[in-house]
Amino acid sequence: MALSELDDREPDFPPVFHGMAAESGRDPFRLAIELAREGVDPGLIVYRVRTDHLSAALVLAPETSLADAMPMALVAAIGFADSFGALAPSEVAAQIDWPGGFRINGGRCGGLRAAASVADPSAEPDWLVIGIDVPFFAQTVAEPGASPDRTTLWDEGCSEIDPCRLLESWSRHTLVWMNDWMTDGIGRIHADWTGRAFSIGKEVEIIAAGNRYFGVFLGLDERGGMLLKTADGTIMLPLTEMLEKP
């Protein structure tokens, strides 16, 4: 299949969200950060929909500390799992890696990114951007065995999923979980994310803030941080470790 942008149909987002297509060649995540710095209204989804790849970024304006806002990454991940489950063949399984990776039938398949206007977990950010990237098929043919743990939606039998529909569905399911979070707190989100996690109870390797950690993933703390049992004891890695420099 030739790589191209899809048709000019604008995605249908829920009323509290509004969309803007990124120009060809622009990274929606970086563009969303630029617009957030300029004071764009929260709820903007900057997107780029290609036949081979879906990229989008949601601009938020949390009215709480950065640490308390970061569970939005859990919300967005669950939103993806729900939207994928609604569109994919029933035999295809979607799971989640901490802090924001996606797994399809066990293979790594895209994930989340995040950036904020502040780095101090106790400070209230002016904006928080959550990005999502999902590969539909590989742009190039890789050498056999080059990335044995990575996959695409096409490789897993999901060629019938339309990238624009997946984006629309992600926005709707993410909004449902956002409303649940604001109404009932993080309890249900915590439980749902944990139920979809790929590696809880398993040995994992995590790179956070330039440091490499090995241990058993025990679960999440109340803010979505990773509880990791290492040789030196149990440590907590906060979700703020996933933040990229804006």
Q: What is the pLDDT of residues 158-193, one digit of tens each?
A: 999 999 999 999 999 999 999 999 999 999 999 999
User: Within the chain, which residues score under 50 in pLDDT?
Assistant: 1-3, 143-146
Distance CA 119, CA 129 (A): 13
Nearest to 166 by CA among 84, 102, 89: 84
User: Domain residues for 94?
Assistant: 18-199
- Within-domain flag for 40: yes
- Within-domain flag for 30: yes
- Within-domain flag for 54: yes
Which amino acid, one-letter code, is at 227? L
pLDDT, position 207: 87
pLDDT, position 39: 97
Instruction: Give the CA count within 13 Å in the CB-facing half-sphere of 37.
Output: 11
User: In this structure, what CATH number is given to the domain that contains residue 90?
Assistant: 3.30.930.10
- Within-domain flag for 243: no
Contact between residue 104 and residue 93 where contact means Cβ atoms under 8 Å apart: yes
Distance CA 64, CA 98 (A): 22
Q: What is the pLDDT of residues 42-68, one digit of tens each?
A: 999 999 999 999 999 999 999 999 999
pLDDT, position 139: 64
Using alpha carbons only, give the angle 54, 148, 136 rounded to the nearest 5 degrees.
15
Handedness of CA 4, 2, 131, 72 (dihedral sign): positive
Q: How many CB atoms lie within 10 A of CB 178?
A: 18
Rg (CA), the chain: 17
- Within-domain flag for 6: no
How many domains does one find in the chain? Answer: 1
pLDDT, position 65: 98
> Model-level pTM?
0.93
- Within-domain flag for 156: yes
Using alpha carbons only, give the angle 212, 57, 32 rounded to the nearest 5 degrees.
100
- Within-domain flag for 209: no
